[in-house]
Amino acid sequence: MKAKKIVLLPYNLDLESLLEEHPPQVRLQVENLKYILGLISELPAYDHRLFTSQQEEALYVSLNAKLLKEKVSNYHHYLRYLQEVSVLECDNAYVPGFKSRGYRFTQPYQGKLIKDVITRPKLVSHTELEQQEDEQVSQQYGNLIRPFDGLKIDNDQAQQYIDGLYEEESHSPQPKIRQNAACRYGAYQTMINHLSEHTGRFKVDSKGHRFHSPLTNLKKELRQFLTYKGEPLVALDLSCSQSYLATLLFNREFYQPSEATTKVALISLPAETQALFSKDLLARIVNYIINFDTVITSNPCTSLPPSPVCPLMVEKSEDKLISKDVAVARESIVTKKDDEVKTYLSFLIDGKFYELLGEQIQRETGRSLKTRQQMKEVIFTVLFSKNGEKHPALVSRKEAFVTVFPWIYGLFELLKSDKHSSLALLLQTIESEIFLNRIAQRITAESSNVPFF
């Protein structure tokens, strides 16, 4: 059977008529035009910004020139033509090595999308790099890929759902919802197509080492239409996973494990993850944990906690009174640190981490954080924002957390001190190690007939 690729194009765009009415200066192939336009519809399915309330206007889709050239060698002629005839518009924002130029449909073509098909071999076949990636992920996680043969999506029900959602969003009184309705429709349609046509790819990212599949990318609204060999699926979730997994980082053994340990430790993670933390930084982290220094500066959101007091220096102090006072102070700090960690763990064990944290913040500061989403924003800010963040809203969230968990806050800041993304990537990799390399492998070994996605 001839290979094909489904592309989504604006319902009111007739490319043949467009080429006839506005002849290009160089010869352009219709299938190449469809391929490029299809990317504008498809790629938003992998962009989380499209599904957040912060996205104010229709999304620009970044097109990587190097990758696009492998499919359409003279791609720039096609992009220039599509802009000249006002089908696409460009954000003209290009930062070498960081951001590619973004494109989106112009307003007349920001409507409902319809399916089309391209069959040109160069456009539908995988590149050499894609083939290598497919082979690698198949060898690494074949146990997670094989069950997809029995996975099906109710195409009619799913289509009916997104059609109704598009009608609702395209007539929304809120501009930011209305302007992205067509883009979201294309993203949902892409997700459905990958499952119904078995065209979705599997990939492991090189930073957080997460496993990406047509199912992990599927929005929860569409998962209700999935079955495995006629049976419904059940979703299991680790509540407050990032906050829970972060407790591993409270222990010295994570950074300096014994040789015989089978526990998750930094040394058991991929080399790329270990390289995020220099020897000097690891020494400072271990020193911080050992000495339990919870002294917080007057502005905890703009600087790291000071280095812990060195016990050797205290022992050699000529002033015995000062030495005794420091020892007493340190014992008090140790007790506070232990109590702090116990409180943090108790919030997690009770299964109401966000709610209990919000109540504790209100008791200690008088500040009311009423919703679970507000507390999630506090945690995400503490874990993932830059040290020294100046934005008032982010600083306020950090200050709320540090009143309850000053020692834990200091540890997180220390872990982000070389590069703020290091903590996020470390937590993602720990999650992958536990769920993909341990839990999933054990299920496969002990119950090979149980489908596990």
Nearest to 306 by CA among 211, 417, 422: 417
Is beta strand 61-62 parallel, antiparallel or unpaired with respect to 102-105?
A: antiparallel
Q: Hunting for tokens 């569409």 — which residue is that?
A: 222
Identify whether the C-beta of residue 357 lies closer than 8 Å to the C-beta of residue 370. Answer: no
Domain chopping of the chain, boundaries:
5-232, 241-443
pTM (2 decimals)?
Answer: 0.80
Q: Which pLDDT does position 300 carry in this prediction?
A: 43
Task: Encode the chain (453 residues) as per-residue pLDDT tens digits.
Answer: 678 899 999 999 999 999 999 999 999 999 999 999 999 999 998 887 777 655 567 789 999 999 999 999 999 999 999 999 999 999 999 888 888 999 999 999 999 999 999 999 999 888 777 888 888 889 999 999 999 999 999 999 999 999 999 999 999 998 888 888 898 899 999 999 999 988 888 988 888 898 999 998 888 889 999 999 999 998 888 888 999 999 999 999 999 887 777 889 999 999 999 999 999 999 999 999 987 544 333 344 433 343 333 332 233 333 433 334 434 344 444 556 888 999 999 999 888 899 999 999 988 888 876 688 889 999 999 999 999 889 998 999 999 999 999 999 999 999 999 999 999 999 999 999 999 999 999 999 998 888 888
Which ranges constitute the DSSP H helices of 93-180?
121-124, 128-145, 155-170, 175-179
Largest interatomic CA distance in the chain: 94
Identify whether the C-beta of residue 285 lies closer than 8 Å to the C-beta of residue 254. Answer: no
Q: Hunting for tokens 């220039």 — which residue is that?
A: 80
Q: Hunting for tokens 């009423």 — which residue is that?
A: 370
Identify whether the C-beta of residue 409 lies closer than 8 Å to the C-beta of residue 302. Answer: no
Identify whether the C-beta of residue 92 lies closer than 8 Å to the C-beta of residue 101. Answer: yes
Nearest to 291 by CA among 410, 423, 387, 404: 410
Q: What does the alpha-carbon distance between residue 451 and residue 151 come to, in Å, rounded to a whole number?
A: 9
Is beta strand 113-118 parallel, antiparallel or unpaired with respect to 226-228?
A: unpaired
Identify whether the C-beta of residue 239 lies closer than 8 Å to the C-beta of residue 353. Answer: yes
Q: Which pLDDT does position 39 carry in this prediction?
A: 95
Q: Which pLDDT does position 318 carry in this prediction?
A: 38
Q: Hunting for tokens 């399915």 — which residue is that?
A: 45
Q: What does the alpha-carbon distance between residue 264 and residue 261 come to, in Å, rounded to a whole number?
A: 8
Q: How many CB atoms lie within 10 A of CB 229?
A: 10
DSSP-derived letter for residue 435 is I
Q: Which pLDDT does position 252 carry in this prediction?
A: 92
